[in-house]
Amino acid sequence: MSLDPITADDRHALVVAARAVAESGLVVGASGNLSVRRGERVLVTPRRAKLGAIDPEDCVEVALADGSVADDHPTDSEPTSEAALHRAVYAATDARAVVHTHSHFATVLGTLVDELPAIHYGLTAFGGPVRVVPFAIFGSDELAASVGAAFEGRRGVLLANHGAVVAADTIDGAVDLALQLEWLCSVAYHATVAGSPKLLSADDLDRTVQQSRALRYSLTEPS
């Protein structure tokens, strides 16, 4: 039994974050999903829900270990079809919040590259060049396993022909990372269309991390 239970505040925070994602344009229709982790429990947004119009009670508490729904779930809503993906990210990282979107430029880049190029030092917020996970059917164990593996040393991944996933310590932080990843993908796409962009070296990224730490900025490697 979890010693850090899901609370009403968690439900409210998840709904507020879902609304922010919807209003940002990172999703269309009923695409995308979010979650927060508390101990061995995970609260996920409901299946087939539009992120801008979710009732807190419809968010679903599931077990981190096997995805089983809490016995006291108050409505007939079901967990997002990507619940296994969220659980895989938590199993692979120390994150406490995950955001999955079908954002435009992240989806475009996921069809063009195997790794998001080092186009800007903002990439250091993700631990380095963002990997692209090969295509797998949404909601599948195959996709969940691939995403979990791709999160080694990273805070975000792209999903080929699908979208993006980011993870952070807080749900607000995860929303911020989702927006930053979409911006980086946009810059990479437009720079590539315009020509042959100059990329940052591994040393450039390392020195950026050192400077960020020295100035106490939030651009850091994942812990």
Residue type, 145: A
β-strand partners of 46: 79
> For residue 114, what are its two tokens?
């195997």
57 given a catalytic annotation: no
Which one from 82, 152, 182, 221 is the annotated catalytic residue? 82
Token digits of residue 200: 């940052």
Count of residues making up the chain: 223
In 151-201, alpha helices (H): 171-194
Q: Is residue 158 within 8 Å of 112, Cβ to Cβ? A: no
Q: Which two tokens stand for residue 8?
A: 């009403």
Q: Which two tokens stand for residue 132?
A: 């692209």
Residue located via tokens 């990997």: 131
Residue with tokens 């080694």: 152
Hey, which residues does 131 pair with through a beta bridge? Answer: 115
3-class DSSP state for residue 42? strand
Q: Which residues are catalytic?
A: 82
